[in-house]
A = this chain, B = another copy of it.
Amino acid sequence: MKKVPTQLIETLKNNETFLLLAHNKPDGDAIGSVIVLGKTLKAMGKTVDYYIDTPVEEKLRFFSEISYFNEHLAAAYDVIVLLDCSTLDHTYQPKQLPDHKVLAVIDHHKSNEAYGDVNFIEITSATAELVYRIATALEIPLDEEMIDAVFTGISTDTGSFQFSNVTSETHEILSQLYRLKTNFAVLSKRLHSEKSYSQMKLYGKAVESMRLFADNTIAWILLTYEDISKYGGPLNITDDIANIGMNTIGVQLSATLKEVDNGEYRVSLRSKSPFNIDVSELAKAHGGGGHIRAAGFTYSGDLEVLKQELRALIEKQRSSENG
């Protein structure tokens, strides 16, 4: 296994009080990483506080360590650790960041500019890989909750070991986790397959609503306000709904619209590699943001106009291909 920076190990060993932060709307990797590092530090006899954006999503609420989140916030800490936060802006933090001697950043995002006093930035599948290596380097044995937390971080950030961020070392870590605990089937199902009845129905409604146009290269998916209300509201819209279009063979560009208020839509755009369609442009033009292949914005105009704008994106790509 690759090394952990000595400076970080020394910082964790030689200080006593720690505040752990993660990004806004923490996902499985943020929560898992925070728990692994928090329990590692506690096992070393350190004082650990967590300041985390809650409530944590339902499927992650089984971690008992969550009960210590936001329990106490001191005016000063030896070290503030930011986990899985590509920038300080993405970090969920108190209005006034407590005094601290050291700001430590542990993250796996390529875009991270190492903005801490101490940094452990490496492009891995998940920040959970990094905290696993930290616990191992510190020779702190993982209890079952920590094992599940490492698994959760990696499994959720890789779409169950399917994304291109998976490496040989990712599976090496998994191989070691399975030596500590032999069965992750129930946890996997919880993280990836299970939905409430309402969530399942909204997913079905989204598939049901899908229409293709522009020679079946654009997928258009719309959840109406009525559908969303009928099945328990926006919280029941699962993330995988935005992938329905992308998982449909032949589709190059997808728009998933959720009518959050009457006539007001939250729009998620996706585009598929290797097609050269930059969806962030359109999102920015509508006051939103994102990346080349995933962007979003709020829209309350004519839906036919939006469809025309999507057609134009496809046309633009075609003419650049032929140009």
By a beta-carbon cutoff of 8 Å, the part of chain A in contact with chain B is 159-164, 166-172, 174-176, 178-179, 182-185, 188-189, 192-197, 200-201, 203-208, 210, 212, 216, 243-244, 247-250
Q: Please, which residue of chain B has its CB at the minimum distance from the CB of A163?
A: B185
A200 contacts across to B, CB distance below 8 A: 207, 210, 244, 247-248
A178 with B185: in contact, given A200-B247, A250-B197 (CB under 8 Å)? no
A195 contacts across to B, CB distance below 8 A: 247-249
A250 contacts across to B, CB distance below 8 A: 196-197
CB distance from A59 to the nearest CB of B (A): 10
Partner of A248, one of B182, B185, B197: B197
A170 vs B168: C-alpha distance in the bound complex, in angstroms?
12
Cross-chain contact B208 with A204 (CB below 8 angstroms): yes
A208 contacts across to B, CB distance below 8 A: 201, 204-205, 208
A212 vs B208: C-alpha distance in the bound complex, in angstroms?
19
A169 vs B203: C-alpha distance in the bound complex, in angstroms?
35
Q: Would you list 20 pairs from A and B whose C-beta atoms are within 8 A, ordered by A residue?
A: A163-B185, A166-B178, A166-B184, A167-B182, A169-B175, A171-B172, A189-B247, A194-B247, A194-B249, A195-B247, A196-B248, A197-B210, A197-B212, A197-B216, A200-B210, A200-B247, A200-B248, A201-B210, A204-B206, A204-B210
